[in-house]
Amino acid sequence: MRRVAARLWVVFLLAVFLAFALANRQKVALSLDLFSFDVSGSVLEAPLFLLMSLSFLFGFALGGLTQWLRGGGKKRGEGGGAGE
């Protein structure tokens, strides 16, 4: 039953992502130069859904890395597992 629920959840998330991607296909300009107001500098043009998806994945990976680095040594010494 858990497997079916997990698969339904994944299908739902994929449907939401597909709807978001189809609604935000227009290209946007991303400039990381904070001090220049002209758009002629180094600008990355990409679809909005791609930029949003990449920023979400970057944040997810950064959060996972942070949690892994914070709790790496703490979990090893704790008991209470099924193997004891």
What global pTM score does this model have? 0.62
- Please give the single-letter amino acid code of residue 45: E
Distance CA 62, CA 70 (A): 12
pLDDT at residue 63, rounded to an integer: 92
Distance CA 80, CA 84 (A): 7
Position 76 confidence tier, pLDDT thresholds 50, 70, 90: low
DSSP three-state, residue 54:
helix
DSSP three-state, residue 43:
strand
Q: What tens digit of pLDDT does each residue of 2-40 get? A: 899 999 999 999 999 899 888 988 998 888 777 776 666
Please say whether the beta carbons of 50 and 30 come within 8 A.
no
Residue-range domain boundaries for the chain: 20-31+43-70
